[in-house]
Amino acid sequence: MSISLSFLILYPIWINMAQIQQGGPDEKEKTTALKDLLSRIDLDELMKKDEPPLDFPDTLEGFEYAFNEKGQLRHIKTGEPFVFNYREDLHRWNQKRYEALGEIITKYVYELLEKDCNLKKISIPIDATESEPKSFIFMSEDALTNPQKLMVLIHGSGVVRAGQWARRLIINEDLDSGTQIPFIKRAMDEGYGVIVLNPNENYIEVEKPKIHVQPSSDCSDEPAEKRERKDKVSKETKKRRDFYEKYRNPQREKEMMQLYIRENGSPEEHAVYVWDHFIAQSAAENVFFVAHSYGGLAFVELMIQREADVKNKVTAVALTDSVHNVWHQEAGKTIREWMRENCCNWVSSSEPLDTSVESMLPDCPRVSAACSTEM
């Protein structure tokens, strides 16, 4: 564990102050001297030595990375893969850098869905006002008009967004491993319409408005001397708290608040909304789902809420490491029976592909994916 420069400098001073404050009146002079020393330390400058600014590029070029012809993320100059520990012993800074790159990757995948896969970005809710929070999904041109078959893709939980299976695989492996693009292209080549859900885009973040507290007028009969003494203690406490907070988090990030998207405030809500307004309205005689991890749970929830409609329209469901649980989700007997006939869950296993894997749950068959399906 690394010890910051500012901690090494300030900790002995804090200890000395604590020890001096326990002494008698003759120690007041030392206390005053130490307080003066602390007041002359430029904390902002000291913190800059601990952690670089959390100010990162907003393009791949700015990070000096690009995807090569194999879809691998490589450094423009060195050709090396992405390095997480860019600054040694600065885990928080490295993590923030990784997250900033991840946001750029998300936008890059969105562009690929539109340009390479020819999908359309559709805003939801479909009747949203100009001012309310919105999300979106992606659809092929024939998603609602293809009379034969429609493929629906649902990713898992976490930071992934539409078109992704796993951000980590996109960054550390390649686009084919971490995105849904190979699934989309093959489906379209084989005559499917395609709908790509975006179940984790549940809210937008805006900066929290600052609340200005008006000082209350003191109408009590409390003596002025006592009030002044209390005010002084309160100011000292606030000053000390601000000091420690500034040390703990010198680059205080903006306080944000979440504004949830109407009828799409969770992956489960999103799946039902897209079903009602798009999938159920499609002309396709046969609908197929591919759902990973939490996407499987969202599909089961969709079945619980729209059982008759799903049974009537969905032909088959391919799950990968689905985390659904028919007991916890209270899926009825008829749903469990339908899942046994129409669903299959490919799970992480070293067994040969499609080897049966024992399951404790009485729902769909589980078979080996012959590798890790971690996405």
* Whether the Cβ atoms of residue 351 and residue 368 lie closer than 8 Å to each other: yes
pLDDT for residue 286 is more than 60: yes
pLDDT beyond 90 at 221:
no
| The amino acid at 93 | W
Answer whether residue 315 shows pLDDT above 70: yes
- pLDDT for 86 equals 87
Mean pLDDT (whole number) for 295-320:
98
Candidate list 6, 293, 322, 368, residue with the active-site label: 293
User: What average pLDDT score do residues 236-264 get?
Assistant: 71
Q: What is the pLDDT of residue 13?
A: 47
Mean pLDDT of 48-72: 87
Mean pLDDT of 193-221: 78
Angle at 95 (CA atoms; ends 93, 97), nearest 5 degrees: 70
Question: 293 an active-site residue?
Answer: yes
Exposed (0-12), middle (13-18) or buried (19+): which is 178, by Cβ within 10 Å? buried
Distances (CA, A) of 362 to 55, 297, 322: 50, 15, 14
Domain ranges of the chain: 119-204+262-368
CATH (residue range 119-204+262-368): 3.40.50
CB 297 within 8 A of CB 330: no
Q: Do 266 and 305 touch, CB atoms closer than 8 A?
A: no
Percent of the chain with pLDDT over 90: 63
Lowest mean pLDDT among 32-36, 136-140, 275-279, 315-319: 32-36
- State pLDDT tens for residues 118-137: 999 999 999 999 999 999 99
Tell whether the model's pLDDT for residue 16 goes beyond 90: no
Please give, one letter per residue, the 3-state secondary structure of 283-320.
Answer: CCCEEEEEEECHHHHHHHHHHHHCHHHHHHHEEEEEEE
pLDDT at site 254: 72
Which one has a higher pLDDT value, 10 or 257?
257
Count CA atoms within 13 Å of residue 320 on its CB side: 20
pLDDT of residue 363: 85
Tokens of 348: 């992480």
Is the model's pLDDT at 21 over the cut of 60? Answer: no
Cis ω for the linkage preceding 81 (within 30 of 0): no
* pLDDT above 80 (res 201): yes
> Can you give the pLDDT at residue 311?
98
Taking 50 as the threshold, does the pLDDT of residue 48 lie above it?
A: no
Please say if the pLDDT value at position 54 is more than 90: no
